[in-house]
Structure 1
Amino acid sequence: MKKIIYTSLIVLTSLMVLGACKQKSANGRTDTYASGEMVVMCDESFSPIINEEIKVFHATYPDAKVTPKYTNELDAFNALMEQKVHLIITARNYSAKQLNFFKSNGLQPRYFPLGYDGLAFIINKENVDSCIHVNDIKRILSGKVRNWNEVNKGSKLGEIDVVFDNAKSAAVHWAVDSILGGKPINSPNITAVNTSAEVINYVEKTKNAIGIIGSNWLNDKRDTTNVTFNKNINVMSVCQVEGKKADEMNSWKPYQLYLLDGRYPFARTVYALLVDPYHGLPVGFANFMQSPIGQKIVLKSALLPYRGDLQWRKVQTD
């Protein structure tokens, strides 16, 4: 997972110094690697970590102003292709078609892997089905399983209510591509809300719901070890062992360690995608997020950083 990529390896400090020498461009931009203004478009599910990155970036470079615009993955890609923005944050890399589009227009697309999060499945506190098999998740999303008693014969919760943020989101796109092999989510009882926070709120109030959400939204901010999740919902442990029933011994939650070693099957890469012909503030902010400081923010946000030496220690959990 932690493969080496050949993105920019220029030291961030050097970037900032060089950027200060830039002159006004033909299109009126005057931003440098460390100053000026920019908008970064992000899939809404990554707002917790991007807010933290921007906060520290502003403190480090007070002449820079980065404004986040939280939207869905599809609209972010469209804005990048139209060059309305030059940097987006999402859960997938460019498609071959998108790469060809940029190159045919004389633009150089770049990508910066920032870290990994888990696509988590959350349930109401009263739902005792805390473990689930990968195959059951596929059957629920495809509509082949519609009732909780088809997952657990003893369940009395009735029809499964699948809830996600919106149809254009990174979570839904990743579930369709990586879990269902490109086939659409076809559950007969689907609820679409607007944000990740609303997914959590919906599951808190709905006994038969299962929510699809990025794991970075679930960290309990009171817990600095990042081994507990939001106390108001249950995060399901997922089993990927073929021929075995999911139980506490073979199922795993999207903790950072289990994203790293592959025990949690639904790990996705978080990317900063950059297309900036002027090489200004978007380049500086993208490099900052991949710098040691930026990667430390990723780690503290309960994601697995793309770069850095990680140390693991045993902790006691309730």
Structure 2
Amino acid sequence: MTSRFWVIASLIFIIIGCTSKPALDNPSQGEIVIAADESFQPLVFQLTQAYSGIYPNAHFKVVYKPEQEAINMLLQDSARLAFVTRKLKPTEQGVLNQRKIKGGAEKIATDGVALIVNKANTDSLITMSELQRIFTGQVKGWSQLKDGNQAGPITLVFDNNNSSNLAFVLNIFKVTEVKNLRIFTTRSNREVIEFVRKNPSALGFIGVNWISDSDEPLSVELARELRVMGVSEKQNPTKRDDYFQPFQEDLGMQRYPLRRPVYVLSRETHPGLGGGLVNYVARDAGSLIIRKLGLWPTVPYNREVNLVK
């Protein structure tokens, strides 16, 4: 009788174990995959590390990809969140709609595409008009630019053929054909920096968060022996104050021409770990991290100060 009881009990436990659903993650614990455009690697790393520091049972596997690949991971249910520069297109949203997933898009910051040159290149000012002529093939050499002091052709350096940095710049200047441009692509923003550091004729394009955190040793090291170009929207600027760099105040005041949004896209269908991270980033102390990185948070962190006489 006793052995029969244990056999029945074991079968019940097996049935329960086979039919029970795994526990869902929640805002303070669990593990999810995040896809992120590689140009936002320093930003995403610091945000996820800070959140895991608050909630030790919250674990993030971050996969860094070119922007379109990161979005594809989200659509294919290979990632819960994606850090990118745009919202989903109607056709992409349609993929989620077919699965009855509303999804979400939260703008968390304003970022900038930084133009970097070798320290030997003292011509660190450029206009949007000059950039337009470079990307339409009218200007090919440094000597053709106003006050250009470098000889030789301009080599445009990007992190990837499918880079959000490249797509953003081509869209700004309405360029659809690049075969006649002198473009060199690497495998990461970091490799762009290294290439420019070794090549005085290079003009590199990177996400500014790679070099904008003056308190981060890696950021300081990467910025060594580089110049960040000032960019002017004026056709004929007459003074240095007509040019702006992709750093915090000029991003926030919308003075830097090559600024862009940072979005977190979500496909979460329950109040889970992804939503917890998004709330932290967009409405909590995460905005302090965004500010520390030199970007402009969409929602500033409110500090209350009580003055006592």
Q: Which category describes the TM-score, using the shorter chain as reference length?
A: 0.7 to 0.9
Give the structure 2 partner of residue 213 of structure 1. Answer: 206
Larger mean Cα displacement after TM superposition, 39-48 or 280-289: 280-289
1:224-259 deviations in Å (ceiling 9; x for gaps)? 9x99x92320010001013x1475131111121111
Q: Which runs of 5+ in 2 are unaligned?
A: 1-18, 304-309
Q: Secondary structure at the match of 1:268?
A: strand
Distance 1:223 1:254 in 2: 18
Contact in 1 for aligned 2:38/2:189 (Cα 8 Å): yes
Does residue 172 of structure 1 match 2:166?
Answer: yes
Does residue 89 of structure 1 match 2:83?
Answer: yes
Contact in 2 for aligned 1:133/1:246 (Cα 8 Å): no
**1:132 maps to which of 122, 126, 131:** 126
Give the structure 2 partner of residue 64 of structure 1. Answer: 58
Cα root mean square deviation, aligned: 2.7
Correspondence 1:1-318 to 2 at 5 A:
28=22, 30-152=24-146, 155-177=149-171, 179-181=172-174, 183-186=176-179, 188-219=181-212, 221-222=214-215, 230-242=223-235, 244-245=236-237, 247-308=239-300
> Deviation of residue 220 (structure 1)?
5.2
Instruction: Give the TM-score normalised by structure 2.
Output: 0.85
Distance 2:68 2:21 in 1: 26
> Deviation of residue 309 (structure 1)?
5.9
Larger helix proportion, structure 1 or 2?
2
Give the structure 1 partner of residue 14 of structure 2. Answer: none
Identity of aligned residues (%): 28
Q: Which runs of 5+ in 1 are unaligned?
A: 1-24, 312-318
Q: Secondary structure at the match of 1:198?
A: helix
Contact in 2 for aligned 1:142/1:186 (Cα 8 Å): no
Distance 2:233 2:188 in 1: 28
Contact in 1 for aligned 2:288/2:301 (Cα 8 Å): no
Larger mean Cα displacement after TM superposition, 279-288 or 74-83: 279-288
Larger Rg: 2
Q: Secondary structure at the match of 1:249?
A: helix
User: When the two structures are aligned, how many residues end up with a matched partner?
Assistant: 285
Distance 2:33 2:237 in 1: 47
1:267-294 deviations in Å (ceiling 9; x for gaps)? 1100100012244211211222112211
1:20-74 deviations in Å (ceiling 9; x for gaps)? xxxxx98745211211101111011111111111111011111111121111101
> Deviation of residue 159 (structure 1)?
0.4
Q: Secondary structure at the match of 2:214?
A: coil
> Deviation of residue 184 (structure 1)?
4.2
Contact in 1 for aligned 2:213/2:294 (Cα 8 Å): no
Instruction: Give the TM-score normalised by structure 1.
Output: 0.82
Change (3 A) 1:217 1:128: same
The one-letter amino acid of 2:262's match is V
Contact in 2 for aligned 1:165/1:198 (Cα 8 Å): yes
